[in-house]
Chains A and B, each alone.
Chain A
Amino acid sequence: MTAPAAPAAPAAPPVLLRVRDLKTYFVTEHGKGTARAVDDVSFDLFPGETLGIVGESGCGKTVTSLSILRLVPEPPGHVLPGSLIEFEGRNLLALSAPELRAVRGNQIAMIFQEPMTSLNPVFTVGDQIAEAAIIHQHLSRRAARARAIEMLRLVGIPDPDERVDDYPHQLSGGMRQRVMIAMALICHPKVLIADEPTTALDVTIQAQILELLDRLQHELGMAVLLITHDLGVVAGHADRVVVMYAGRVVETATTDALFEQPTHPYTEGLLAAVPRIDARRARLHAIPGQVPAATAWPPGCRFHPRCPYAWEKCVAEEPPLLDAGDGAGHAARCWLVTEPERRVPKR
């Protein structure tokens, strides 16, 4: 098991969001198969920290983030019994609909990948930002509007008094993502889930949005769950990292430990695939193959068909998350932890 201890703090802070054995499955169209999109995922989020969840498309990171606020469309999706998503000691999966709504957007907020389509085209951005404050804090429309303008100023939108009456299509992509952030943060949530918040944006805008998130995190003291496929984003902004592959957590570590000593071959592959300015390589490394279909994960270690080190044991038996031994809760789901001498590439 992972038990990620808080890094060398004298008294470990209480866990804010505890995810245990999360299983989110989808019934496929013809009812023939079950896509095990998220399969036994566990991690902890501590107050004020940024936890990165990294992985390729199809590894289950977005479904994990949607499962937390129970935003996975049901059907076809469902979170299996036995899963636990505990926020401040309450299991979100056991809440009634009104109780859950009181958490959504109020204590746990979420921003999405596509700022173009995630805003409602027929309402002004001011109305959309104010909505959560009206629902959760029971503000009057006038007071909520004032709060919305304040939030627009906070996220760095110029002329917030005028922009508040703009419609989403009148704003650029970066501005829309700022609006999404303002909308998510208006109730000062304790957790912000950011699902690929910069993927749809230009590189220069990406940096601005990430800096903005960092600044707001410090000002408002919230915890951020940062879902991304971009290890560069993780390196600059996350305290700890969970690497996901094929619906499973395959490695978890502090960001520093992960970059210094990647243990799972998948993490290794991801790191090798990032272009670096200080190392001249003729070609970028690519992990061979693709993430297999979620309806038919490979037996044994789910990464073995793409792994350069795999041997018989990897096909026969799936490794548990094993302590990688450098303290600070570094763990990897790989037999190499027990047999490090086998880390010799076959090709």
Chain B
Amino acid sequence: MTGSAWLLRRLAASLAIIFAVVTFIFILIHLAPGKPCSENLEPRICDLLTHQFGLDQPLAVQYGRYLVELAHGNLGMSFSLRRPVLDALVETVPFTLQLAGAALALDFLLGLGLGIYQAVRVNRLPDVALGNATLFVYSLPTFWLAPILLLIFGEKLRWFPVGGASDPIFCPAVTSLFCVADRLWHLVLPATTLGVVGAAGTARFQRAAMLEVANQDYVRTARAKGVPERQIVLRHQLRNALLSFITRFGLAFPFLLTGAVLVETVFAWPGMGRLAFNAILTRDYPLVTASALIASTVVVAGNLLADILLGVADPRLRVQAAAEADIATA
């Protein structure tokens, strides 16, 4: 199959990119000023610890050791948490994926829906009103929106919890349907904060993409065939506008992950973003590189997913990719 050959090549390229990112982060964090020891630690003990963790070795040696350990699936010991990095990540990554997944769904489902709706009603009142509303929301900074939502819906109205991912007394673990609902209830505010600004951007983007397609010759052809307007928009225009939408989808992942750091901090969400942020402050080298590894994997996977979706949605790319793979395997 030519399609699977293409996929293999893309997977290999993805691995190379992740490797490069991890290498880059490893070098960068070691070159950054500051030490893993806290300032009020006795210098003697700091030196001891530095030696114990092998941080007095040349950078190349440390990097080599790191790669060997990584190849064995060992991400190292966290300096600050004093426990294996892997354990800390296994605990926190699912929460970040939950948060980012919910935000992603909100961003793209709401954004897509609004954009299509605006394109159908273009230049009429609903379109103009939504156009202004999305511009307003899009211009809100997340660092402002997060505490404001927390203040209004958590503190004043008390509709949603002010922090955490679950109720610590009734649902420390998901043991019942009630606890699933509890998790979702806790998810609402952080996911909205993280997703709504993106949704506004997506809506504006999707509206523009739909209208750009509206002027294409093939839309006129469809109209000349007697296709109803609704079908023209939802079939002929949407399928073509989805192509740029998918590209945008692939580009959204880095912003979701960086946004997660802030949102997790404000909402006390026990995710990886908060963990990575603290790791950077404490110069927790193993934890920083491991977080970068996870983040780059998510970003690269997101892009790969977008490319695969694009291949499904755009027949021109499908054939081109097959031809490229033919050349590569020949």
Write the residues of chain A forming the contact surface with B, with a CB cutoff of 8 angstroms: 69, 71, 73, 97, 101-106, 109-110, 112, 114, 117-124, 131-132, 135-136, 167, 169-170, 180, 183
Contacts and interface: CB of A to CB of B under 8 A. Distances in A.
A97 to B, nearest CB: 8
A123 B242 CA distance: 13
Interface string B286-319: 0000000000000000000000000001111001
A167 B316 contact: yes
A169 B226 contact: no
A69 B220 CA distance: 11
Contacts of A69: 224
A85 B225 CA distance: 18
Contacts of A71: 220, 223-224
A170 B218 contact: no
B316 A169 contact: yes
A117 B216 contact: yes
Given A71-B220, A114-B217, A117-B216, A122 B239 contact: yes
A141 to B, nearest CB: 14
Contacts of A117: 216-218
Given A104-B225, A112-B217, 18 more contacts: A69-B224, A71-B223, A105-B224, A117-B216, A117-B218, A118-B217, A119-B221, A120-B222, A120-B239, A121-B315, A122-B243, A123-B239, A132-B225, A132-B226, A135-B226, A135-B228, A167-B316, A169-B316
11 contacts: A101-B226, A105-B226, A106-B226, A110-B224, A118-B220, A119-B218, A120-B236, A124-B315, A131-B222, A167-B315, A170-B319
Contact of A103 (B218, B223, B226, B319): B226
Interface in B183-232: 215-218, 220-229
Contacts of A106: 226
Given A121-B316, A167-B315, A170-B319, A112 B226 contact: no
Contact of B225 (A135, A167, A169, A170): A135
B287 to A, nearest CB: 45
A167 B311 CA distance: 14
B226 A121 contact: no
Interface residues of B, number: 23
B50 interface: no
B131 to A, nearest CB: 18
Contact of B240 (A105, A118, A122, A167): A122
A118 B226 contact: no
A114 B222 CA distance: 14
A121 B236 CA distance: 10
A218 to B, nearest CB: 23
Contacts of B215: 73
Given A106-B226, A121-B240, A112 B315 contact: no
Contacts of A170: 319
Contacts of A132: 225-226
Contact of B226 (A73, A114, A119, A136): A136
A119 B240 CA distance: 12
Contacts of A122: 239-240, 243, 313-315
B209 to A, nearest CB: 14
Nearest to A116: B217
A124 to B, nearest CB: 8
A110 B224 CA distance: 6
B223 A104 contact: yes
Contacts of A123: 236, 239
A168 to B, nearest CB: 9
Contacts of B236: 120, 123
B313 to A, nearest CB: 7
Nearest to A122: B239
Contacts of A110: 224
A69 to B, nearest CB: 6
B239 A104 contact: no
A104 B316 contact: no
A120 B226 contact: no
Contacts of B228: 101, 135
Looking at B216, B217, B225, B240, the one whose CB has the most chain A CB atoms below 10 A away is: B225
Contacts of B319: 167, 169-170
Contacts of B239: 120, 122-123
A135 B224 contact: no
Contacts of B216: 117
Contacts of A103: 226
Contacts of A97: 229
A277 B33 CA distance: 85
